[in-house]
Amino acid sequence: MPQLIKIEGERASTVDDLFTFVADEDAVPAAGDVIVTLARLSSEGDALLSSGRRVGVRLQPSDAVEDLAYDLGALAVIELAFAKFRDGRPYSSARVLRGRLNYQGELRAVGDVLREQALHMVRCGFNAFEPADGSTAEQWLAAAHRYRHVYQRAADDREPVFVERAQIASGLGHNRPDEVGV
């Protein structure tokens, strides 16, 4: 069975992937959890979602996540495909899903998914990964935590440097105040 890395806060684990991806040209299996394309979700979504199994969708970089707005509550998982690791559109898709559409469920990165992009993916709200480079859960977690500080707010709950600075200035931070200055 294919495996996935899942990240929850500071923990990473490897789990079995219970879903089957069904391409447009294939028939949906009679039973079992499935992930379908956006096209199939729009045409067969109602039937699938009421067939008593878990249903997810896989979006390509050019698909608009806004199209999922009405189905979000019913979807068990959303996969965003990285056609090439250089194609950065899924990062924006993830931010819009988490921040604007308030999607709370599992968000997977699939396709050309490499460890060096782990930090950006986690920060944009991905929490499940199918690495194409054979990375282990530990390696993935380490890559996602290489930086002690971040400069922007994103879909994770890390506070940016300017908030850390303000906390240090008001004596709440963990750095020694004498280290801080301009």
Partner 1 sequence: MYRYDSLDKEMLTDRSNEFRHQAARRLSGEITEDQFKPLRLMNGLYLQLHAYMLRIAIPFGTLNTKQLRRLAWVAKTYDKGYGHFTTRTNLQLHWIKLRDAPDILDALAEVDLHAIQTSGNCIRNITADPYAGATADEIDDPRVWVEAMRQWSTNHPEYSYLPRKFKIAVTAAEKDRAAIRSYDVGLHLRRTRDGELSFEVMVGGGQGRTPYLAKTIREHLPAGRLLSYLDAVLRVYNRQSRRDNIHKQRIKILVATLGVEEFTRQVEAEWALIEGADIDLPDTELARIRAAFMPCAFDPQPASSPVFEAAKADPEFARFTRRNVHPHKVPGYAIVDISLKVPGETPGDASSEQMDLVADLADAYSQGEVRINYTQNLVLPHVKLADVPAIYAALKPAGLATANMDLITDIIACPGLDYCTLANARAIPVAQSIAKRFADPERAEQIGDLKINISGCINACGHHHLGAIGILGVDKKGEEYYQLSLGGSGGDDAELAKILGPAMSGPAIPDAIETLVETYIVHRKDGERFLDTVRRTGLQPFKEAVYASAD
Residues that bind partner 1 (CB under 8 A): 61, 85-89, 91-93, 95, 99-100, 114, 116-117, 119-121, 123-124, 133, 146-154, 160-162, 164-166, 169, 175, 179-182
What are the percentages of helix, strand and coil residues in the chain, rounded to 5? Answer: 35, 20, 45
Choice between 99 and 105, CB closer to partner 1: 99
Which run of H or E residues covers position 15?
Answer: strand 11-16
Helix count and strand count (H, E) for the chain: 5, 8
> Maximum Cα–Cα distance for the chain, whole Å?
66
Give the rounded distance of the alpha carbon of 88 from its chain centre.
Answer: 13
Calpha distance 182→172 (Å, rounded): 19
Nearest-approach distance from CB 62 to partner 1, in angstroms: 8
Give min distance, CB of 141 to partner 1, in A. Answer: 15
Which lies closer to partner 1 via its Cβ, residue 88 or residue 105?
88
CB of 173 to partner 1, least distance (A): 9
Min separation Cβ 125 and partner 1, Å: 9
Q: Which is nearer to partner 1, 74 or 96 (CB)?
A: 96
Cβ closest to partner 1, residue 19 vs residue 129: 129
Burial class (CB in 10 A: 0-12, 13-18, 19+), 99: middle
Q: Which is nearer to partner 1, 56 or 125 (CB)?
A: 125
CB atoms within 10 A of CB 155: 20
Closest approach of partner 1 to the CB of residue 151, in Å: 5
